[in-house]
Amino acid sequence: MPGFQPAPPVLPQVAEFPVSVQMGPAGPQEVYEGMVAQRKELRNQLDRLEDQRRDLSNNLRSDNITTADRAGLEIRLKETDARISSVEGQIAQADLAVAKAAAIPGAIVERPPLQRNGPPEEIMAIPIVFIIFVLGPLAIAYARRIWKRGATVVTPVPREVHDRLDQMAQAVESIAIETERIGEGQRFLTRVLSDQGRLGAGAAQPVPVPAAEPQRVDRA
């Protein structure tokens, strides 16, 4: 209908769960670590919500979006903003809970430093320096020498390969000669058969022979 204005969407109320320190059967250290893990998870949720809001904002800026899609994206954007605000409040409460849990004696226990059973780091640095500054240049120089030698020296061809190549050349030449002979024979047979066709076959015709004149004999 013309002039109809849709009613503004009603945003759902996001319930907030206050974070408090409860000892229970767990010790102070376990409670403190649980609070730290909870705060970390809330921050991960906040990062995901901010990524979702960024995607929605980019979709709203698109030129090919329809009016219905724009209205739906605006509703989702407002809901995402409400969730972000709620999670930020929960993170603030989690920070306060972590601070309270850290104040309990025995909550933060410093871990003993890692002890090395092997040689000290100063001794381990000596072979590393030796490999880098001594063996490294030697390896590079040897590799360059091998590369230059391979580029200049040509590996000789074995004698057996030469002999086989000669045999192959002779065999190819003999095959060429025999092929030429076969071609000559075929051309000769073709010429003979064509000549017989031109002569034809039939009865022999008499050939006229002129009569000899009588010779005169003089009598004495």
Question: pLDDT tens digit string along 156-190?
Answer: 667 787 788 888 888 888 888 888 888 888 888 88
d(CA 98, CA 96): 5
pLDDT digits (tens, 9 = 90+) for 87-137: 999 999 999 988 888 888 877 767 776 666 655 666 667 778 777 877 788
Give the model's pLDDT for residue 87: 93
Distance from CA of residue 194 to its chain's centroid?
Answer: 69
User: Any idea where the domains of the chain sit in the sequence?
Assistant: 28-102, 121-154, 156-197
The count of other CB atoms within 10 Å of the CB of residue 35 is: 22
Q: Give the mean model confidence (pLDDT) for residues 130-159.
A: 75
Residue 200 vs residues 4, 31, 203: alpha-carbon distances, Å: 111, 125, 10
Structure tokens at 193: 């058969």
Q: What is the pTM of this model?
A: 0.42
Residue showing tokens 């989690």: 94
Stretch among 28-32, 55-59, 197-201 having the lowest mean pLDDT: 197-201
Q: Which pLDDT score is estimated for 136?
A: 81
State the Cα–Cα distance between residues 81 and 73, nearest whole angstrom: 12
Give phi and psi for 183, each to the nearest 5: -65, -40
What pLDDT sits at residue 3?
A: 45
Half-sphere exposure of 92 (CA within 13 A, CB side): 7
* Tally of CB atoms within 10 A around 21: 19
Specify the pLDDT at position 175: 87
